Every structure is written in C-alpha cells, then in structure tokens.
Structure 1
Amino acid sequence: MTSDAPVEARPPGGKTFFGHPRALSTLFLTEMWERFSFYGMRAILVLYLTASVADDGLAIRESTANAVYGTYNAMVYLMALPGGWVADRLIGARRSVLWGGVVIAAGHYVMAIPARWTVFAGMALIVLGTGLLKPNISTMVGDLYDRDSPRRDAGFSIFYMGINLGAFIAPLVTGFLGEKINWHLGFGAAAIGMTFGVAQYVLGRRNLGEAGARPVDPLLGADRRRALTRIGLVTLAVLVLLAVLALAGLFTVNSVVNLLTIVTVLVTIGYFARILTDQEISGTERSRMKAYLWLFVFAAAFWLIYDQAGSVLNIFAADKTDRDVLGFTFPASWLQSVNPILIIIGAPLAAWLWLRLGHRVSTPVKFGVGLVLNGLSFVLMAAAAQAAVGGDLVSPWWLVAVYAIQVAGELSLSPVGLSATTKLAPVKYASQMLGLWFLATAVGDAIGGQVARLAESWPEPTYFLTFGLASVALGLGALMFARQIRQLMAGIH
C-alpha cells in the first residue's frame, strides 16, 4: 500500500538524487551492495569448490561444482516467488528488504568461517535472504513514482546501473582476496559489502516515505494464522526430509542438487498449468500465455548457456588462459567483471536501437537474435578450447570476446522479456508474472548446472560446439516461427 501523494512529489528538504526522489539513492546503494556481495561470492565460488585441499579449497569434482553453482543460482531466482508473497501478504516490502539483507549478510559471514560445512550453510542463508530482498526492492522503486510518471523508466535505469556497478566492482575485490590471499577472506569481503548495504538502508529509511511500508494485500486474523501454520508445517516437512536423507546416507551434495533441480522444473510446470487451465482468464489472455510459454522456453535456454560464465568459463579462465601482465598474474575471477561493464556500456545503445526499430522487430525475433548470439559465443568458445588443447595457455581476450557476444544477446532478450512479461500477463496474474519471469532463469540455471557436468567428461571443444550450435538452431527456429508466436500474442508486439 502506498500513500496517495507520490514520494517523488515531496522529497525531504527538497533534496533529490539525479533529479529523482531522494529515496532512490537509498535503494540504489542497497541494491549495489547486495549485488556486490552476490557477484563477489559467485565469482570465486566454483574456484573455491574445485581448488585442492593444499590450496585451502574443497577439492570437489568439477562436474559437481558446476552443478552446485547452477542450482544455487536457480534457488536464488526460485525463492523470489515466496519472497514476493511474504512481502505482499505478511510484512511488506520494506521489512522484507531489511530482513533479507540481514540474512544475506549472515550467510556471507558464515561462509567466511574457515570450515568445510560453512559454504553450503552460507549459501542456504543467502538464497533465503535474496528471495526476500531481490523482488521487493524493485517493487519499492516503483512505489516512488506515479504509475504513469514520465520519470519512472529513467528511475529504474538509474537503479539498474547500481546492479551492474556492484557486479563490476565485486570480482575485483573478492577475486584478489580469495585467489591471492585466502578464499574465506574473499567471502568475508562480500559479507562486509552487504553489511554496508544494510547499514545505509537503515540510516536512509527516513527518505522512503510510505514506499513498501505495509503489505499490499495483507492476511489478517484467522487467514494469517492459517498461512503461518502452513509455512511452519512446510518448513518442518523439509527438515524431516533432510533428516531422513541424512539417516539413509543419501544426504549428499549430488542428491540435494538433483532434488532441487527436479523441484524447480516441477514448480514451473505447475505454475503454467495453473494459469493455462484457469477458467477465469479470457481466450485472448490464454492465447497470450501460450505465446509466453514459448518465450519462457527460449529464455530458459538462453540462461542455461549464459550463466555458465561463473562456472565452466570461470574454470577455463583459471586453468587455460595466460593472465600474466608485466609479471603479475591477475585472478581468473577478474574476468567476471567484463560482463557488467559491457552491459553498462551497451544498455543505452540497445535502448536506442529498439526505440529506433519500434514495432518493426517483434519480441519473438529479438528472442531469436539473443539465442543465436548466445550460441555463437559458445561456438567461439569452442575455438578457444581447441587452441588450448595440448596445454597451451590462450589469451584472455578470447573470453572477453565471448562475453561481449553474450552481452549483445542478453540486451536483445532480457529487458525485452521483462517488458513482454508485463504486457502478456493475464489481469488476474499481473502481480505474479514477474516471479514467473524469474523462474525462466531458475529453470535455465538448474538444468544448466546439470548440463555443465558434461564439461568435465566431454572434450571441451565438443562441449562448447554442441551446445553453441543447439542454441543457434533454437534461435533460428524462433525466427522461423516468429510470425506464428506473434499471432498468439494477440496484438502485443
């Protein structure tokens, strides 16, 4: 629930943030530090998991580490669904962001403890905290503006710059500390970053006005007690299941990863089945959801490849690239900063291009282009892997070129998909569709984690070429059937 007067009309003391409500600075910095912690930890996670015991790592097999990484990313996005529900029905977006930040920081501090068990316990906390923070902080940004405010899109653009700024800086800090000094020191830097984010969020709360102050559709009385009881029972059931698996000797990293992958896919199937069989949505809305199902599949396939940057490509950077510059071998994780800086540079160009092209290029065509570019990045990666056959170290510029192609694909698909999600949503499910868009990333990362297991057993050139060509083929298919999908979209471009 928001106040009748928009926050942007009454910034405290007349102060603004680049001409926007002062509250935007608080949310900008919170998101920047949260992304700093997220991408900072993610940049060194697989490297830590696969590092030898002599190098203070966990010496986990590369295939298992890749699957853990993919599943972790999937859970982060999957938990956005219950996180949004908790804010809407129980505690409001503002408190969800606060408690989410606290839990995230706690998770990183746990990972900073030099013990074998802490990495998985810490990741579990980070997943829970991110589920509370990630979807709801974006909601609060929207609450700063009237729905039809001409400055709304510009405000979100500034906010998203915070995401990429944090993602750019993080690997440079955590990568150096983790790879050059101690892994847990790198995790600790991520914890300190999130602590900064929480502290400035608390100090800046006076700027927020009524944004996110209360649940938009609160559960009251018996309904609230019933919901809390169900949450308690589900939590107890999960704990019992984990205990049974442990007693049966089945509580292993691989079994948990496989279980969570299955859960992610089943939740997605259930979500689409619920919407498509709902008799309350109109025929036009059902047609649009059928079109959206195709876009969802394309997006999941895109993230399956794209998000291997932090796993398979990160390991390649560590083992097979010549990172020596004037006698200094820079950390492999530093290459994880290439993606966000390219997005910062490329996003305004992409926005200008789509504005110029207008409706001449439809959403399915843009998705097809994104998939083709994503596939071509892996085809180029196959060439890099072939050059490294025999133990030769290759130039890191191979990876920079791969990331540049992937970013071009992302800018063709990701913001376009977010926009299409809001336009194709049935009225009844309008508030839930953003969570469904997050599910595309969750499914892609979950399945991608399983696919990435093959990178250890297959020849690397074969691995990259196979999935690169598969993505190109799927993209070409999207282009071929773009007209039919657009017809299903029933007037939506």
Structure 2
Amino acid sequence: MNTDIENLFKDTVLGHPVGLFILFFTEMWERFSFYGMRILLILFLTAPMMSDNPGWDWPREHALALIGTYASLLYLTPIIGGWIADKFTGYRMAVVIGCVIMTLGHAAMAFETTGSFYLGLALLVVGTGFFKPNITSIISEMYKTRESKKDGAYTIFYMGVNAGAFFGMMLCGYLAENYGWHWGFGLAGIFMLLGMLQFLFAHKIFGDVGAAPTKKVDVVFHEGEDTSDPEVVKEEVEAASKLNPFTTLDKALIVLSSVGGLLYLFNDPLEKIGGTSMLPFEIMGLTGSNFIVLTALILFLVLLISRISRYIPIVRDRLVAVSIFALFTVFFFAFFEQSLGSMTLFASDYTNRELVGGAATVFKIIDGLLTTIPLIIITYVIILIFKKTFTKIGLSNVMLAIAFIGVWGLVIYRIYDKSFSEELRVDATWFGILNSFFIITLAPLFSKWWESKYNPSAAMKYAIGLILLGFGFAILAYGASDIPSGAKTASVSMIFLILAYLFHTMGELCLSPLGLSYLSKLVPARMIGFMFGVWYLAIAVGQKVANTMGGMIDKISEQYSLGVFFLIFAIVPVAVGLVSVVLNPLLKRLMHGVR
C-alpha cells in the first residue's frame, strides 16, 4: 500500500497528488448534481399547475414533509454505505456504485411523473449512502504517510464541494426556472454521469489505495501506563473501548430505535400527503407517529447512556462532551437548513427580484464575475492536470474536458441571455449560491482565526455559530415585519436575504467543519464508527426538524405574521448559543485537554 501511496505523490499539482484532484472533480460533479436538484425540490413541488412553468401545486407543509424525510435519509444511509465499503467493496468501488445509482436517480426525476419522481429520490438516497462516506475515506488513506499535508488536502477537497454546489444551484436553477423543471433535473443527471466516468476511467492511478479490504489484525493494548504520554493515553483509551463490546441488549436497542425512527420518517409525509397512516392508533393522547418517534428517541438515549457509562472516566467524559455537541448540532441544522426550504420560498414569493436600470447593470457585472472567475481558476487547474496525466488517464481527462466545456457553454449562454434587457428578474435559486460563495471567500479568514492565539474553545465556537445563525434570522424577521398576516406574496428588498445568508455562513464556518474534527479527537478508535453514526443521526434529526418547522410557515404567518415566523428562528438559536457559553467550563473539563 505504501508503494501505491508513494507513486501517487510522484505526479503533483499545486503540491498535492493528481489523485486528489480526481477526487476533487468527482465530488464537485456529485455536489453539482445534488444541490442543483435539491434546491429545485421545494419550488417544483409548490409551483402552481396553472402557470408558465407548472409544478405539482402541493401545500408547503406537504412539500417540506417529503423533503425533510429525504434530507434525513441522506445522512443515515452513509452509515450503512461506509460499513459495506469497509467490509466488502472497498472505498473506490463504493464510490462508483454510488455514482451509478445517483445517475439513475437523476435520470428518473427528469421524467417528472409521480412514480419516476419517488423512484429518483429513493435511488439518490441509496447512492449517496455509498458515495458520501467513502470518497473522503480515499483521501484519508492517500495521506497516511503525509499527515502534515492532510489539512491542506481536505481544504482543497472542501472547495470542490462548494464549487459544485455553487454551479449546480446556479445552472440547474437557471434552466429549471426559465425553461422547465425537467431541464434542471436532467442537467443534474448529465453531470453526475460525467463525474462517474471521469472517476472510473482514472481508477488505475490510485493503485491499491481504496481497493477492497484485506483481513486486518487487531493490535492489543493494555491499561495502567503513564498517562502523561499522549500515545499511552491513546492506547489506554483504545484498550478500554475493546472491553466494552456491544451486548445483546445494545444490539436490540439499536434495532428498535432504528426501526422506530424509520417508521416515523416514512409515515410523516405519507400521513400529510396521502392522508393515510402506517401507524393508525393513539396512545396517551399521542398519534401513532409521534408515539413511535418518542419511543425510538428514549430507546436510543438509553443505549447511548448505558454504553457511555461503561467506559473508564476519561473516555466517558469525552463521549459525554461529544454527545452534548451532537445535541447542539441538531439545533444548528434544524435552523440552518431553512436555506433550502422556507428561505427559498421567501426568495421565490416574498422577495423583490426585479432589477432595472443601473441596479440591473451592477447585478449583471457582479453575477458575471462571480461565475467566470472561479471557472477560470478551476480551468487553469485542469490544464495542469492534463499536462501531468493525459498519457496515463486520457479518457478520464476527456470526460473532465467535456464536462467543463458544457459548464462554460451554459455559463456563457446564461450571461448572454441576461445581458440584453434593461430589466432583470433574479432567479429564486440564485440566492442559494450565496452560501457557497461566502464559504469560499470567508473560510481562509476563519482558518487563520482558529490558528491564532485567539482560537476559542469548542463550546465557544458552537455558541458563536448559533448566535450568528440567530442574527441572520433576526435580519429576515426585520425585513418581513411589514408583510401582513396571511400574505402569500410580498416584495421585500433582496438585501435582507443576502445578509441572512452571510451571517448563516459565518455561523456554519464556526460550527459545521469542526464537528467531525472534534469527534476524531475525542472518541476512541474502536468507538468511532458508532459515534460517527450518532453524529450523522444528529444531522439527520436536524434535517427533519428543519423541514417540519419550515412546514409551519403558512400556519404561523396566517395566525401572526411572516416576521414572527422568522423571529422564532432567531430567538431559539441565540438562546441555545448562550447555553453553550454557560456550559463552556464544564465542557472543557469533560474534554480533558483536547482542543
């Protein structure tokens, strides 16, 4: 394996192996497809049937119930996909399987029939389960002997994520809103296919890195050594985790809580959209669906507490800290993920997107620069890759070239299409690209902050992130304050939405990229799979809660106002952020020196 890793580092671009950039572009096209399709969901499902671009005319609550279940499942299937890759397929084959399944999913959605739509969502959920955890695992394996370069590698890879999201939402949204939903869904599928072919034709460059697993031999450690040595502490923690195997009761609790959670996820949209229930009963005044999800939550908490309590004190304390951070993560994503739900609806129905005269001209210039400058930079990187690898993986390079020629063509056509009229209507999906743009521009500043002497503790980072998130919603609440109760449309200045995305992104940079980093530092190796599952579960719960709360937009805005709706979303994150400040001293003690 080391020989294959050394071979990878013989051909480098910008100081990193070409293989990293193969993964960069594979992830970029997957995120292009994922975000390009996902931002269309709420608009397509709620668009009136009698319109220039007819949708399914669903009530917002129904649409967000379905989207919430879909988004939750996207964070649950990677737990299974990662396990399958570890045990059977290897990371590279899992990525290919995921790409194939997702390509079929996007293709199914382009038909816009009821059956093909649901089939497409199901295939995307399964495909993401194979793809999401395993492409990052390949990077981890590539840099086993280059730990000092790993942070830089993940930074480059993370830029691929955001570049894909940026262009996917911009171009799929542009085609869908201006030419028809099937064009947007179809474009997502085309680039997913090109991303898969680009990765598949480059497989030989990786050697055995990410190949199917071989039988591994466990190393046994012993307790009782000098705890002043970090390596000895690591071994002690490892040993302690081996003394806490999963019992029959643990496994039963996992199965029961999983089944209960999945029943709720599937039953919620079925109950709201179809008017039928898989759980047609009431217990103690609770509907069957609510009773099942509360029971599943209680069983999972029993499992978590019982397992944590069986560890030695230092491990137990750190796992308690991780669990508290996971709870904060639920709250964060429950509010942050309004971006592809209620905030997209706000952009579509309540924001003044008409620009004329000088304002339209300024927007066209800014939009053109936002679009072309990143493309020029990425194209330069592609040229460097071609120089290094065309003789080795020429077919992969051809697929990459076709994809980028397609993106350049669409970008030029989009700029041309919008350039000749004095009036301009900004696409509702355009606002979705702001998160990716702000991440790319602000991430270096936050990275410098974390490396400085002013680097705050984990709990304070969570607090800052949650408070910034709440502040973004406070800006939206102020902007929506004059909208009367029950209004279905309005014309609020777009500056409020732009500022909200800015503060939400700053909050994300304080919290989201750090979660997995703290998880890897605080959790013993033998427990990391289970706690990664807990972490993904926290995000999945946050996704479902986000869309459940977002589905209340009509009820709250009719009874009170849209300003009150967003004010709720402002107050709760700030309150939770202040709780994190109060818990800071306790969490520091529980982390036992980990920063």
In the alignment, the residues of structure 2 paired with residue 169 and residue 161 of structure 1 have an alpha-carbon distance, to the nearest angstrom, of 12
Q: 1:82 and 2:84 equivalent? A: no
| 2:426 pairs with one of 330, 343, 349 | 330
Who is 1:457 aligned against?
Answer: 555
In the alignment, the residues of structure 2 paired with residue 207 and residue 295 of structure 1 have an alpha-carbon distance, to the nearest angstrom, of 39
In the alignment, the residues of structure 2 paired with residue 336 and residue 285 of structure 1 have an alpha-carbon distance, to the nearest angstrom, of 40
Who is 2:39 aligned against?
Answer: 43
Unaligned runs of 5+ in 1: 219-232
Q: Report the CA distance shift for 1:312/1:93 in structure 2 as closer, same or farther (over 3 A).
A: same
3-state SS of paired residue (1:328): strand
Who is 1:344 aligned against?
Answer: 440
1:314 counterpart letter in structure 2: T
Alpha carbons 2:4, 2:206 under 8 Å: kept: no
In the alignment, the residues of structure 1 paired with residue 501 and residue 542 of structure 2 have an alpha-carbon distance, to the nearest angstrom, of 18
Q: CA deviation at 1:49?
A: 0.4
Q: CA deviation at 1:482?
A: 0.8
The correspondence of residues 293-442 of structure 1 with structure 2, limited to 5 A, is 293-325=323-355, 326-357=422-453, 361-389=456-484, 392-442=490-540
Q: CA deviation at 1:254?
A: 8.2
| 1:289 pairs with one of 309, 319, 323 | 319
Q: CA deviation at 1:144?
A: 0.9
Q: CA deviation at 1:276?
A: 3.9
Identity between Structure 1 and Structure 2 (%): 33
Give the stretch that moved more between structures: 268-277 or 334-343: 268-277
Q: CA deviation at 1:314?
A: 0.2
Deviations 1:29-62 (A, max 9, x none): 1100000000000111100000111232111101
3-state SS of paired residue (2:185): helix
Deviations 1:192-231 (A, max 9, x none): 110111010111111112221013668xxxxxxxxxxxxx
Give the stretch that moved more between structures: 38-47 or 461-470: 461-470
Task: Calculate the aligned-residue CA RMSD, in Å.
Answer: 3.0
Q: Report the CA distance shift for 1:323/1:259 in structure 2 as closer, same or farther (over 3 A).
A: farther
Alpha carbons 2:349, 2:490 under 8 Å: kept: no
> How many aligned positions are there?
468
Q: Report the CA distance shift for 1:167/1:264 in structure 2 as closer, same or farther (over 3 A).
A: farther
Q: Which runs of 4+ in 1 moved over 6 A?
A: 248-251, 256-269
| 1:24 pairs with one of 3, 20, 27 | 20
Alpha carbons 2:483, 2:563 under 8 Å: kept: no
Unaligned runs of 5+ in 2: 217-254, 280-286, 356-421
Q: Report the CA distance shift for 1:262/1:254 in structure 2 as closer, same or farther (over 3 A).
A: farther
Give the stretch that moved more between structures: 102-111 or 72-81: 72-81
In the alignment, the residues of structure 2 paired with residue 328 and residue 128 of structure 1 have an alpha-carbon distance, to the nearest angstrom, of 39
1:319 counterpart letter in structure 2: D
Q: CA deviation at 1:323?
A: 1.4
3-state SS of paired residue (2:2): coil
Who is 2:571 aligned against?
Answer: 469
Q: Report the CA distance shift for 1:124/1:287 in structure 2 as closer, same or farther (over 3 A).
A: same
3-state SS of paired residue (1:485): helix
Who is 1:201 aligned against?
Answer: 199
Give the stretch that moved more between structures: 144-153 or 123-132: 144-153
Q: CA deviation at 1:330?
A: 2.2
Q: Report the CA distance shift for 1:19/1:288 in structure 2 as closer, same or farther (over 3 A).
A: same
Who is 2:306 aligned against?
Answer: 277
Alpha carbons 1:268, 1:439 under 8 Å: kept: no
Alpha carbons 2:271, 2:277 under 8 Å: kept: no
The correspondence of residues 139-288 of structure 1 with structure 2, limited to 5 A, is 139-146=137-144, 149-215=147-213, 252=274, 273-278=302-307, 281-288=311-318
In the alignment, the residues of structure 2 paired with residue 382 and residue 79 of structure 1 have an alpha-carbon distance, to the nearest angstrom, of 35
Q: CA deviation at 1:436?
A: 3.0
In the alignment, the residues of structure 1 paired with residue 78 and residue 292 of structure 2 have an alpha-carbon distance, to the nearest angstrom, of 15
In the alignment, the residues of structure 2 paired with residue 216 and residue 6 of structure 1 have an alpha-carbon distance, to the nearest angstrom, of 16
Q: Which has the larger radius of gyration?
A: 2
Alpha carbons 2:36, 2:188 under 8 Å: kept: yes
Q: CA deviation at 1:170?
A: 0.7
Q: CA deviation at 1:272?
A: 5.8
In the alignment, the residues of structure 2 paired with residue 274 and residue 301 of structure 1 have an alpha-carbon distance, to the nearest angstrom, of 21
